[in-house]
Chain A
Amino acid sequence: MILLTEQLLNGLQYGVTLFLLAAGLTLIFGIMGVINLAHGAFYMAGAFAASWVAIQTGSFWGGLLAGLLVSGLIGVLVEVGVIRRLYARDHLDQVLATFALILILNQGTVLIFGRQPLFSSMPEIFSGSVEILPGLPYPVYRLFVIVVGLTVAAGLYLLINRTRIGMLVRAGATNREMVRALGVDIRRLYTTVFGLGALLAGLAGVMASPIVSVQVGMGDEIILATFVVVVIGGVGSVKGAFVAGLLLGLADTMLRAFLPSLLAQVMSGPEAQALGTGISSMGIYLMMAIVLLLRPRGLFAAQG
């Protein structure tokens, strides 16, 4: 019971991280029709900027601000400098260009910070753990990550459903051509959405930096799972990204946690370990295949 609760929380925390990354990616894909492989680089940029500023100033919050600013700024620059030229091109050109961006941003980071990972610590008030159930201490920082993720989800919900810009975003995701035909300044909308997406990815990077290793290439590890979230949730749907992010986070954590020991009941130890590890690392891709089979446009596909 204690183990199950702890793993559920772990899954939730992984899920909201995936959501923060996928929310921007799905909007960029849905509204502009651009496959942005370099989204993970914004995650890395946020983590590096936050850690570096935190090391220099000793303040996690200063780092948080810097991480958001830098990743958002890089996002806007990338949109204006590169992505804007790609809207009319086909997906292959976009993949090629954004892949080049990954290499450029990764090597740029190597030039600035070197290949050594950065040290990043967490704010003092979050460094302990609280006993959420008798016998179950849980790191406060991970609870904080969950709260931040859920707050951002609520904020995005309000932004998209209650504001004028959200209306344009929804309209853009449903029918791009029509929005353009109605005389909306689509370029500014694109830049805003791209910057916002990069900023959210940066936030995910900032939140992850005290937990994982802040190093070049850290975005490449998580971007694949993010794409799976986008595909399962339905391209262009923030709601879909939220549901699919949590679903995947939970499924991935649960499979890794419990499948090997479940299999161990029916076969010998080492084989169960190997098989369980193998299947659980395939888990999210199997889920994607099943969802694509039943609902080819994802769980919450935007029309259009």
Chain B
Amino acid sequence: MKKLLLTASLVLAAATPLWAEGTKIGVITTLSGPAGYLGEQIRDGMKLGLEATGVPFELVVEDDGRDPNTGLQIADRMMNEEGIKLLTGIVFSNVAMAVVPEAMDLGALYVSPNAGPSPLAGAKCNANYFVVSWQNDSLHEAAGAAAKGRGYKTAVALAPNYQAGKDAIAGFSREFGGEVSEIYTGVDQSDFASEMAQIRDRAPDVVFQFHPGGQGIAFLKQYQQSGLLGAVPMVVAEPSFDAVILKAVGPAALGVIGTTHWGADFDNEASRQMLAAWSAAYPDKPLTNYGQQGYDTGLLIGSALQQVGGDADVDALRAALKEANFISTRGNFAFGPNQHPVQDWFVTEVVADEAGNPKSVTKGKIREQVGDVYAADCKM
């Protein structure tokens, strides 16, 4: 187990600090293994977002290794031994499902930069639990709407067999409305040849798949190699075609239809500022949606800390977070009744740039100001 301690420096000249030292923020995220770049993006983006707000802060970063038990141990240590009251960072829903209830029991705040599992969005919602990214289903509902909008009637939907995978297929099917045949893959699976054969055999109008990180890279490569790319169109949500995936698969991603809540080509001030800060800080790394979500989460936490004047109590901080008093890089943003986002969704297409490398281009809005279906069950 390695431990990364990342202390951000204060720019004293930029603002007169009202408090002695920065608030400690516990970042539990996935930094090792095949999905390591997801957590790295969230961590790096969050640091930039917090810096942009000018508040002093201290990030205590630890790697959960995508393991719920490890995540839980880290969370307990952070809350009980280090006295951290504000947690964030988790990439994967199965880790969130272990950590978030524990944080709620101990009276801490949790702000999610990525995972938004359905069991925590409805009846089990909590006043101390905020999700900046999305509720898992809604992310894939947009893909369902996009597939429906293109007139497809039958789909094969593939996702790994865990909470976020189930949310993905449920969300896609809900908006797609057509006939969906499901294939669940292994969480560690990297060879999808068997699934490719099944897709060919079922000959659907469209393929929907949810495979974040390295799995998505393997899936897209093999989709092309099996001759399905170009034969059966693919519609996916943003975790399956992030900038790192596009860079790693090259031409195998061309033509993929995606849905997203933010794209690198968004024309707004907050997004432009983020891109400038990112390329200055990490010129060699492409900015993905994970980095963007980390950044937005950093903006939200920073805005709340600014409002309460630093080391305040949990109640004040909760109230400040709830106001969502920040300008999101994605444009419209508000918290719904379950403190999950109400936001817009966009359709994108992966096309070749001048050098022939794939890039994602935003084509237009597909859903406007939507929350999620579980919000109605949430009584706070």
Which listed segment binds B: A62-70, A148-156, A207-215? A207-215
- Can you offer 30 A-B residue contacts whose CB atoms are under 8 A? A2-B201, A3-B197, A3-B198, A6-B197, A7-B194, A10-B193, A106-B32, A110-B36, A114-B37, A115-B31, A116-B286, A117-B34, A117-B244, A117-B248, A119-B249, A129-B226, A139-B227, A141-B225, A142-B193, A142-B225, A211-B222, A212-B214, A213-B214, A217-B36, A218-B190, A221-B188, A253-B194, A256-B195, A260-B184, A277-B161
**Partner among A216, A217, A221, A273 whose Cβ is within 8 Å of the Cβ of B182:** A273
Chain B residue with minimal CB distance to A214?
Answer: B248
- Determine the chain A residues whose CB is within 8 A of the CB of B201 once the complex forms: 2-3
**A174 lies within 8 A of chain B by Cβ:** no
- Chain A contributes a number of interface residues (CB within 8 A of B) equal to 48
**Partner among B2, B36, B186, B221 whose Cβ is within 8 Å of the Cβ of A281:** B186
**B62 lies within 8 A of chain A by Cβ:** no
Q: Report the separation of the CA atoms of residues A269 and B184 in the bound assembly, to the nearest whole angstrom.
A: 12
**Contact between chains at B34 and A218 (CB < 8 Å):** yes
**Contact between chains at A119 and B197 (CB < 8 Å):** no
- Chain B residues 206-261 with CB under 8 Å of chain A are 213-215, 217-218, 221-222, 225-227, 244, 247-250
**Contact between chains at B227 and A116 (CB < 8 Å):** no
**A257 lies within 8 A of chain B by Cβ:** yes
- Chain B contributes a number of interface residues (CB within 8 A of A) equal to 42
Name the distance in Å between B288's Cβ and chain A's nearest Cβ: 10
**Contact between chains at B33 and A119 (CB < 8 Å):** no
Chain A residue with minimal CB distance to B221?
Answer: A211
Chain B residue with minimal CB distance to A269?
Answer: B182
**B40 lies within 8 A of chain A by Cβ:** yes
Name the distance in Å between B294's Cβ and chain A's nearest Cβ: 14
**Contact between chains at B227 and A13 (CB < 8 Å):** no
- Chain A interface main SS type: helix
Chain B residue with minimal CB distance to A272?
Answer: B182
**Contact between chains at A218 and B214 (CB < 8 Å):** yes
**Contact between chains at A213 and B222 (CB < 8 Å):** no
Name the distance in Å between A104's Cβ and chain B's nearest Cβ: 11
**A175 lies within 8 A of chain B by Cβ:** no
**Contact between chains at A119 and B214 (CB < 8 Å):** no
- Determine the chain B residues whose CB is within 8 A of the CB of A210 once the complex forms: 221, 225
- Determine the chain A residues whose CB is within 8 A of the CB of B379 once the complex forms: none
**A59 lies within 8 A of chain B by Cβ:** no
Q: Report the separation of the CA atoms of residues A139 and B213 in the bound assembly, to the nearest whole angstrom.
A: 24
Chain A, 1-35, contact with B by CB distance < 8 Å: what is the 0/1 string?
Answer: 01100110010011000000000000000000000
Q: Report the separation of the CA atoms of residues A216 and B153 in the bound assembly, to the nearest whole angstrom.
A: 39
**A267 lies within 8 A of chain B by Cβ:** no
**A115-B37 CB under 8 A given contacts A129-B226, A217-B32:** yes
Q: Please give the residue numbers on chain B whose beta carbons come within 8 Å of chain A beta carbons, in ascending order.
A: 2, 31-34, 36-37, 40, 161, 182-186, 188, 190-191, 193-195, 197-198, 200-201, 213-215, 217-218, 221-222, 225-227, 244, 247-250, 284-286
**Contact between chains at A217 and B197 (CB < 8 Å):** no
Q: Report the separation of the CA atoms of residues A215 and B212 in the bound assembly, to the nearest whole angstrom.
A: 13
Q: Report the separation of the CA atoms of residues A107 and B247 in the bound assembly, to the nearest whole angstrom.
A: 22
**Contact between chains at A129 and B227 (CB < 8 Å):** yes
Name the distance in Å between B153's Cβ and chain A's nearest Cβ: 18
- Determine the chain A residues whose CB is within 8 A of the CB of B188 once the complex forms: 221
- Apart from A253-B194, A277-B186, what 14 extra A-B contacts exist at CB < 8 Å? A3-B198, A10-B191, A115-B36, A117-B214, A119-B250, A211-B225, A212-B190, A212-B217, A215-B217, A217-B32, A218-B34, A253-B193, A257-B194, A281-B161
Name the distance in Å between B171's Cβ and chain A's nearest Cβ: 15
**Contact between chains at A14 and B193 (CB < 8 Å):** yes
**Contact between chains at A139 and B197 (CB < 8 Å):** no
- Chain A residues 186-232 with CB under 8 Å of chain B are 210-218, 220-222
**A290 lies within 8 A of chain B by Cβ:** no
**A296 lies within 8 A of chain B by Cβ:** no
Closest 5 CB pairs of A and B: A213-B214, A213-B217, A10-B193, A217-B33, A115-B37
**Contact between chains at A118 and B225 (CB < 8 Å):** no
- Determine the chain A residues whose CB is within 8 A of the CB of B194 once the complex forms: 7, 10, 253, 256-257
Q: Report the separation of the CA atoms of residues A117 and B213 in the bound assembly, to the nearest whole angstrom.
A: 9
Name the distance in Å between A132's Cβ and chain B's nearest Cβ: 12
Q: Report the separation of the CA atoms of residues A6 and B225 in the bound assembly, to the nearest whole angstrom.
A: 14
**Contact between chains at A13 and B193 (CB < 8 Å):** yes
Name the distance in Å between A263's Cβ and chain B's nearest Cβ: 13
**Contact between chains at B191 and A211 (CB < 8 Å):** yes
Q: Report the separation of the CA atoms of residues A240 and B13 in the bound assembly, to the nearest whole angstrom.
A: 69
**Contact between chains at B248 and A115 (CB < 8 Å):** no
**Contact between chains at A215 and B214 (CB < 8 Å):** yes
**Contact between chains at A117 and B193 (CB < 8 Å):** no
**Contact between chains at A14 and B191 (CB < 8 Å):** yes
Q: Report the separation of the CA atoms of residues A30 and B145 in the bound assembly, to the nearest whole angstrom.
A: 56
Q: Report the separation of the CA atoms of residues A245 and B137 in the bound assembly, to the nearest whole angstrom.
A: 39
**Contact between chains at B218 and A115 (CB < 8 Å):** no
Q: Report the separation of the CA atoms of residues A7 and B213 in the bound assembly, to the nearest whole angstrom.
A: 26
**A274 lies within 8 A of chain B by Cβ:** yes
Q: Report the separation of the CA atoms of residues A276 and B244 in the bound assembly, to the nearest whole angstrom.
A: 32
Q: Report the separation of the CA atoms of residues A217 and B194 in the bound assembly, to the nearest whole angstrom.
A: 23
- Determine the chain B residues whose CB is within 8 A of the CB of A3 once the complex forms: 197-198, 200-201
Name the distance in Å between A52's Cβ and chain B's nearest Cβ: 13
- Determine the chain B residues whose CB is within 8 A of the CB of A2 once the complex forms: 201
- Determine the chain A residues whose CB is within 8 A of the CB of B227 once the complex forms: 129, 137, 139
**A270 lies within 8 A of chain B by Cβ:** yes
**A216-B197 CB under 8 A given contacts A210-B221, A221-B190:** no
**Contact between chains at B184 and A139 (CB < 8 Å):** no
- Determine the chain B residues whose CB is within 8 A of the CB of A217 once the complex forms: 32-34, 36
